[in-house]
Amino acid sequence: MSELVPGGNLPLPGGPLNLRVPGPFDVSAIVTGESGKVAGDADFVFYNQPAAPGVRLRGDTLSVEPAGLRAGAVRVTVAVSPAEPGTPLARLPAPVLQVGDGRGRAVARFAPPRPGPETVLLLAELYRRGAAWKLRAIGQGYADGLAGLARDFGVDVVDEPTATPAPLPDPRAASSAPSRLVASPAPGPGTATAPGSAHSPAPDPEGFLALVNPARAEAGSPPVVLDARLVTAARAHVAALAAGSRLATESPDGTALHQRITATGFAYVTVGEHLVSGPRTPAEFVAYCLRTEQARRTLQDPAFTHTGLAYATGPRTGDVYWTALWAVPLTPDALARTCADVVELTNRERRRARLTPLATDPLLTAAAQAHSADMVARDFYSHTSPEGSQPWDRAAAAGSRRRTIGENIACGQRSAAEVVTGWMNSPGHRANILKPDFTHIGVGFAGGGRTGTYWTQLFGA
């Protein structure tokens, strides 16, 4: 049996599989195609809809028969949420995924880092590679409930009208007002949908997008959409700014802006921010940003697809404080591209030094990804973990048998190019990148935490 770490994967045996999460949890599954979205409401398996082609939920166990999935299905994402709606996962025993084959033999086990305030956890995904199926451990949390998770995969949770209609905070309330799951409709005229996201856009009562998107269009950049999670993070942060009458990425209680974003369940590749005081209206705020070179570059950055805006008035001074967030959401494909970019840029430096390029090692990759995720989850930055494990310990725990191990870490950089440049400008990190003895590499990345981004390179020989 394989013990998986976040980002780790392994080939699956043919035939049916059983995925069990014992404890006070609801287990659910979302079936998606190449687009990463569901084809319809039948692709969402949960307690109110316990079966789909190739997938069946019985109690705490999902049975998956890959050969029986609907046509075009290439991925089954497994999630857990508290059996009691709204309960933070931190208050419950840590969920553990147990994977077995059709004969009852153990295949894999995954115990993710302990969740915090999240109410849903993406545990793992089964995905097809050619004719074979593999399992990848994830461990990504969501703070906006099972409905928010479903919407990110293209499902709308629509409340059926009743005699006394009320908004549902979670689909479990369907006993009083049944929820109907439908595929997201195509955007209508004038609707901007950011690539790679099906999350419901936030309302825009201030007309922020009408100010921002024309300015982006002038620079040749695509439109952005307001995301409710980024708005929530911006509101929490700007309230702290106004209360303290100061502009900072960290509020007086020590909470960093990036930690607020992570707490909402928004996982990202990169984030930009505007922290401003003075403008009285959204129009004045946007005009200020366009007058300032660095702020204008962020507002018009073509990479950003999601945004969130909030403002608050300081109680002592009457000044208006603003927080705007700009983000690229983290998807499995985006994570793979980001890590591949780091490998390519690293090998470019080795080729310049007439050294053999490094080959990607999946075990080193799993260990590197686990360390980046751990630094975010436990708010530390070090080669030594809180319990004392070192890079070679983590590599061995992931199954690597490499004789020599080296590690580079970094935090705060916004792109693969920026982090590799930083490492090359540091003698110790540069020595690892250009060490002739190293033959293999694994790269990990996680967005969030106090500094916003955490990077790990793990080298082996």
Q: Is pTM, for the whole model, over 0.75?
A: no
pLDDT band at 281 (very low <50, low <70, confident <90, very high): very high
Encode burial over 354-391: b for 16+ CB neighbours within 10 A, e otherwise.
eeeebeebbbbbbbbbbbbbbbbbeeeeeeebeeeeeb
Alpha-carbon dihedral sign for residues 339, 21, 92, 386:
negative
Q: Which tens digits make up the pLDDT trace of 395-417?
A: 999 999 999 999 999 988 888 99
Long-range pairs for 1-4: beta carbons < 8 A, 24 or more residues apart: 1/106, 1/107, 1/108, 1/109, 2/107, 2/108, 2/109, 2/399, 3/108, 3/109, 3/110, 3/111, 3/397, 4/108, 4/109, 4/110, 4/124, 4/135, 4/137, 4/366
Rounded to an integer, the average pLDDT of 187-192 is 29
**In whole angstroms, how far apart are CA 165 and each of 157, 158, 174, 200?**
15, 12, 12, 21
pLDDT at 210 over 60: yes
pLDDT at 171 over 70: no
Structure tokens of 228? 């409710």
What DSSP state is assigned to residue 206? T
Predicted pLDDT of residue 131: 85
DSSP readout, 293-360?
A: HHHHHHHT-TT--EEEEEEEE-TTT--EEEEEEEEEE--HHHHHHHHHHHHHHHHHHHHHTT-PPPEE
Average pLDDT across the chain, whole number: 82
